[in-house]
Structure 1
Amino acid sequence: MKFIYPAVFKKTENGTYHGYFPDLESCYGDGDTLDEAIESANAAAYDWITLELAEDEPAMPPISDESDLDLKEGEIVRNISVNIRFYEGWDE
């Protein structure tokens, strides 16, 4: 199953990048470069979504449209795609 959520990234005062997901509470990524921050955010989103789907009654938040985000100067949006594979009947 594929999930695509927008992440908002901004260059920090010390030259690194910080990104967060407006739709995924307390889910963010950091990196020395934008690419590293995107990779970190992708891993964080994967963990967040996997944990939510493990709940008895998962409640995935609706996906914001980029045009609905209240962006500040210098912020950029990247859509982060997370693929989750389900192995029904597979026992570890």
Structure 2
Amino acid sequence: MKFIYPAVFRKNEEGRYKAFFPDLACCEAEGDTLDDAIDNANEAAYNWIYAEVMEDEMDLPAISDESDLDLLEGDIVRNIQVNIRMYDGWDE
């Protein structure tokens, strides 16, 4: 299954990038560069979504549109795509 959620990347005072997902509670990542932060955000989103998918009652949040996000000047939004391979017998 493919999941796509927006991530907001914000540069901090130390020059590092912090990422958060407005739709995925407490799902955050950071990196020294934007590319590092994007890679780490991909991993964080995968882990968050995978844990939710494995629950008995999967409850994934709705996906926000970029125009609905409260952004600060300089924020960068990227849609992060996560692919989770389901096992045989999975009932979608």
- TM bucket (normalised to shorter chain) is over 0.9
Q: Which letter maps to 1:8?
A: V
Q: CA deviation at 1:74?
A: 1.2
Alignment RMSD (CA, Å): 1.2
Q: Distance in 1 between matches of 2:42 and 2:86?
A: 18
Q: Is 1:46 the counterpart of 2:46 in the alignment?
A: yes
Give the aligned partner of residue 63 of structure 1.
63
What aligned pairs does 1:18-29 form with structure 2 within 5 A after superposition? Answer: 18-29=18-29
Q: Which letter maps to 1:73?
A: E
Number of aligned positions between the proteins:
90
Q: Distance in 2 between matches of 1:38 and 1:47?
A: 14
Q: CA deviation at 1:73?
A: 1.2
Q: Which letter maps to 1:9?
A: F
Identity, in percent, stands at: 66
Q: Distance in 1 between matches of 2:28 and 2:73?
A: 19
Q: Which runs of 4+ in 1 moved over 2 A?
A: none
What residue ranges of structure 1 are gaps of 5+ in the alignment? Answer: none
Q: Which letter maps to 1:70?
A: D
Give the aligned partner of residue 2 of structure 1.
2
Q: Is 1:78 the counterpart of 2:75 in the alignment?
A: no
